Chain A
Amino acid sequence: FTKPLPADGTERWLLGERYLRQYYGLQPGLMGNLKPSDLMSEKIRTMQSFFKLKVTGKLDDNTLDVMKKARCGVPDVAEYN
């Protein structure tokens, strides 16, 4: 389907964090030590339920797979300020 998913954890996190900031209103700098803050897990769950994925709150392969697809830049839930 899409380019191979990033193997190492850091790249996965950065991709996920960038995606959630862009489309789900995640505030920057909530990464901590690459551990999903509660807020980040909540944003992941919001994104997973929007795309009808299994809601895990984690950046699993299926979720990252969707995050890597070409898409529109308008946020999915947060109001466009």
Chain B
Amino acid sequence: LFPRKLKWQNTIVTFRITNYTPDLEKEDVDKAIHNALKVWSDVTPLKFKRLHEGVADIMISFGKLEHGDHNPFDGPNGLLAHAYPPGMGLGGDTHFDEDETWTKDSDAYNLFLVAAHEFGHALGMAHSNDPGSLMYPVYAYTPGFPLSEDDIKGIQELYGTNPDGGKIKPKPEAPEKCDPELSIDAVTELRGEMLVFKDRYFWRVHPQFTEPQLGLIQSTWPQLPKKINAAYENPEKDIVIIFSGIRMWALNGYTLVPGYPKYIHRLGLPKSIRKIDAAVYISDTGKTLLFTDEEYWSYNEETGTMDQGYPRSIKDDFPGMRENDGDEVDEVDAATYRNGYLYLYHENLQYEYSYNRRKVVRILRANDLLHC
């Protein structure tokens, strides 16, 4: 929240759209503004009343560079919009940079999302440093209801809850990387970096930096699904394959390879397989191991075919994986390979399997990967 918890004193807040962007139809702008305000009225007692003349609490306009408030915009990209905290005069006013391209889809920049963020400020919200929050300062396109629990907590501290608000489903807050119970969905190398996926987020672990960088999967790759099951890098081909459900995508660096997504059954998996839990490329053999439920497959990257004699049992071939309570582990969430060791992740643990000694030789916490 802003210092002194600035807020509107009554629950009916007026707004007026004083001009329009040529990038969108007028009714598309009206709809984006309406839906952006509705995001906040859904979770509070606030009601928004539209004025077509005179001065409203929230005066909405599009302008370029210096646009009348001595707080100039900066041309395309960079600074997209700003809004002022609740108060008289300029208070609550919301300005959009006309030098941007305003859209109603995932192309930059989606007017509804930026407006919902700016109206957060106009109602008294400051920035959040949770990358999954709407009030995070950096633009990130995400479909669906944009508020996270962090956003809702903030606005309801100012205005209370919506007495007759329907059940909305906020976005979960960002995972805490050093939570000892943290489990991961997938992990892969990417040109010397490590990408660790969890829910809608991923951490970029760079060998030179101690601090992994947290981001939203869909703000980096809008075409990927919100959550992924497995990923691996084939450095020989300089591609990363991402699995989600029965589909797979190929990344070349950070760009998606055209022609994807494809079905995982193209690899030679039977149709009964509906998702891949973990995947890892073994550089010493040129084979990719694909883990599905209690079994795993071996895919020959060179011939593009599944090896004979698979699937095989995970428990039988990778002995020594035991949970804290001693139960044998027979499924895997994620996998990586480094210097003759296979790292198999299950729940909050990772098992270091030695190919030479043919057994698990160490058990670590999964988030050891994130320098915890």
Beta-carbon contact of A70 and B214 below 8 Å: no
The answer, yes or no, to whether A23 is at the interface (CB within 8 Å) is yes
Could you say which residues of chain B place their CB within 8 Å of the CB of A70? 77-78, 80, 108-109, 138-139
Q: Interface with A: B163-171, B203-211, B318-326, which one?
A: B203-211
Beta-carbon contact of B138 and A66 below 8 Å: yes
Q: Interface with A: B121-129, B229-237, B339-347, which one?
A: B121-129
The answer, yes or no, to whether B137 is at the interface (CB within 8 Å) is yes
The answer, yes or no, to whether B243 is at the interface (CB within 8 Å) is no
- Closest chain B CB from A71 CB (angstroms): 5
- Closest chain A CB from B138 CB (angstroms): 5
Contact of B137 (CB < 8 Å), options: A62, A74, A80: A74
Beta-carbon contact of A1 and B220 below 8 Å: yes
Could you say which residues of chain A place their CB within 8 Å of the CB of B139? 69-72
The answer, yes or no, to whether B213 is at the interface (CB within 8 Å) is yes
Could you say which residues of chain B place their CB within 8 Å of the CB of A69? 138-139
- Report how many residues on chain A are interfacial, defined by Cβ distance under 8 Å: 20
The answer, yes or no, to whether B79 is at the interface (CB within 8 Å) is yes
How far is B1's CA from A79's CA once the two chains are assembled, in angstroms? 10
Could you say which residues of chain B place their CB within 8 Å of the CB of A79? 2-3
How far is B6's CA from A79's CA once the two chains are assembled, in angstroms? 11
How far is B259's CA from A9's CA once the two chains are assembled, in angstroms? 40
How far is B131's CA from A52's CA once the two chains are assembled, in angstroms? 10
Beta-carbon contact of A54 and B210 below 8 Å: yes
How far is B78's CA from A70's CA once the two chains are assembled, in angstroms? 4
Could you say which residues of chain B place their CB within 8 Å of the CB of A52? 129, 211, 213-214
The answer, yes or no, to whether B351 is at the interface (CB within 8 Å) is no
Interface residues as binary, B210-229 with A (CB distance below 8 Å gives 1, 0 otherwise): 11011000001000000000
Interface residues as binary, B74-85 with A (CB distance below 8 Å gives 1, 0 otherwise): 000111111111
Contact of B85 (CB < 8 Å), options: A53, A71, A80: A80
The answer, yes or no, to whether B287 is at the interface (CB within 8 Å) is no
The answer, yes or no, to whether B365 is at the interface (CB within 8 Å) is no
Beta-carbon contact of B83 and A74 below 8 Å: yes
Among B46-99, those with CB < 8 Å from A are 71, 73, 77-85, 97
Interface residues as binary, A57-69 with B (CB distance below 8 Å gives 1, 0 otherwise): 0000010001011
Beta-carbon contact of A73 and B79 below 8 Å: yes
Contact of B82 (CB < 8 Å), options: A1, A54, A72: A72
How far is B211's CA from A54's CA once the two chains are assembled, in angstroms? 5
- Closest chain A CB from B97 CB (angstroms): 8
Could you say which residues of chain B place their CB within 8 Å of the CB of A80? 2, 84-85
Could you say which residues of chain A place their CB within 8 Å of the CB of B114? 72
The answer, yes or no, to whether B254 is at the interface (CB within 8 Å) is yes
How far is B349's CA from A32's CA once the two chains are assembled, in angstroms? 50
How far is B129's CA from A73's CA once the two chains are assembled, in angstroms? 15
The answer, yes or no, to whether A42 is at the interface (CB within 8 Å) is no
Could you say which residues of chain A place their CB within 8 Å of the CB of B3? 79
The answer, yes or no, to whether B185 is at the interface (CB within 8 Å) is no
Could you say which residues of chain A place their CB within 8 Å of the CB of B126? 74, 76
How far is B215's CA from A51's CA once the two chains are assembled, in angstroms? 10
Could you say which residues of chain A place their CB within 8 Å of the CB of B189? none
Among B1-26, those with CB < 8 Å from A are 2-3
